Amino acid sequence: MYLTNQENARAVNGSAGFAGLRVAAVAAAVVAVMLAGCGGESSKSDKASQTAAKVNKEEITVHQINFVLQRQQGLKPEQAEAASKQVLERLIEQELAVQKAQELKLDRDPRVVQQIEAAKREIIARAYVERIGESIAKPTSEEVAKYYNEKPALFKDRRIYSLQELVIEAKPEQFGQLRQKLESAKNVGEFAEFLKANDFRFTGNQAVRAAEQLPLNGLESIARMKDGDSAVTQTANGITVLFLVGSRSQPVDETRARPAIEAFLVNQRKSEVVQKDIKGLRDAAKIDYIGKFAGGPAAAASAAAMPAPSAAPAVAPAPAVEAPAAAASGLNAADISKGMGLK
């Protein structure tokens, strides 16, 4: 969606380093909790000391619990004991389900086997990509400062925007009428009433977004708008009108922005290195496209360029926004990463 940029839900954010230290502390605390009471009895094996529970004949270990906890961002060390107990209960239920599935021979079901193999391939491929990225150097202070100065709308001129968006179904010959009314309307309410009175089909959205929560490719255009301005974007089925209802300044200095910028630049470099490496692997490999795929990448690209048979989504962002027509207290590094386009 044009306003929210949710595709970036898996962003690598600038607090990653701090989160890593916190996870390590949590893991250490969990180990201490789970091993409490062992009392240094040397007769017990290391394996036994790591067992958290037994489900029939199968064991659930502290290592399994820690693995789950390490994937939970924002967990505080003082929450370790309660969190570890909750994770253990979930693992027990999971183990019971696994045992019953095996009893029913579901682990041999072709669909299940296919999913397992697909997950395995993805994990291995991701490990390779992560290995490539290990050699990426941390950006210098000069590089961070350069990016900070090149993106004033994200940082030193950062604003919090109150936005309203109308997605209007219209024919090309109706665009002129809509633009004319938009320029004369006093506010979004008056324009919406015009749409209703003239039987235009439209949907509306409204939101309050910080600069970093907006798509980076549209932020510069929005940042140039003044309160009360609107911008028009042509879509497959009509036009989208974005109204800047109001805004307030909330700049961010370079020190506070640094973690997010560093994370973005590192991630960007990793992406470039991985793409270059994969290209090299493709060039060196012998790849034969067979059957209906015989056309290779060119045919796939051509098919992808064809318009979809179904209607366009209600909110369809466009690559460019026309010139405007007259008419949270702290910085969140994760949100900045979204604005920067991190995946």
Q: Which residue has the tokens 């969990």?
A: 30
**Alpha-carbon separation of residue 339 from 165, 218, 306, 307 (angstroms):** 19, 10, 29, 28
By percentage, how much of the chain surpasses pLDDT 70?
73
Q: Flag whether 338 is in a domain.
A: no
The one-letter amino acid code at 149 reads N
| Percent of the chain topping pLDDT 90 | 56
Q: Is the pLDDT of residue 26 over 70?
A: no
180 lies in some domain = no
- Please check whether residue 286 lies inside any domain of the structure: no
In a domain, 19, yes or no: yes
* Residue 54 bridge partners (DSSP): 59
Looking at residue 91, its amino acid is L
Given a contact cutoff of 8 angstroms between Cβ atoms, the answer to whether 334 and 6 are in contact is no
pLDDT digits (tens, 9 = 90+) for 71-130: 887 788 888 889 999 999 999 999 999 999 999 999 999 999 999 999 999 999 999 988
The answer to whether position 79 is within a domain reads yes
Q: Considering the domain boundaries, does residue 252 fall inside one? A: no
User: Total structural domains in the chain?
Assistant: 1
pLDDT confidence of residue 239: 93
Torsion angles phi and psi, residue 188, rounded to 5 = -65, -30
User: Where are the alpha helices (H) located in the chain, listed in sequence order?
Assistant: 16-35, 46-49, 62-69, 80-103, 110-133, 141-150, 175-184, 188-197, 216-223, 254-284, 296-305, 333-339
DSSP 124: H
197-244 residue pLDDT tens: 999 999 999 999 999 999 888 898 999 999 989 999 899 999 999 999
Q: What is the pLDDT of residues 69-86, one digit of tens each?
A: 988 877 888 888 899 999
Question: What's the mean pLDDT in 269-282?
Answer: 92
Mean of the pLDDT values across residues 146-159? Answer: 95
DSSP-derived secondary structure for 183-208: HH-SSHHHHHHHHHHTT--EEEEEEE
Does residue 218 lie in a domain region?
no
Q: Assess if residue 44 is contained within a domain.
A: yes
Task: Read off the tokens for 327.
Answer: 């008419």
Token code pair at residue 57: 């004949």
- Cα 325 from Cα 182, distance rounded (Å): 8
Contact 247, 160 (CB under 8 A): yes
What is the C-alpha to C-alpha distance for residues 110 and 147, in angstroms, rounded to an integer?
50
Domain span including residue 89? 6-108
Confidence (pLDDT) at 296 = 74
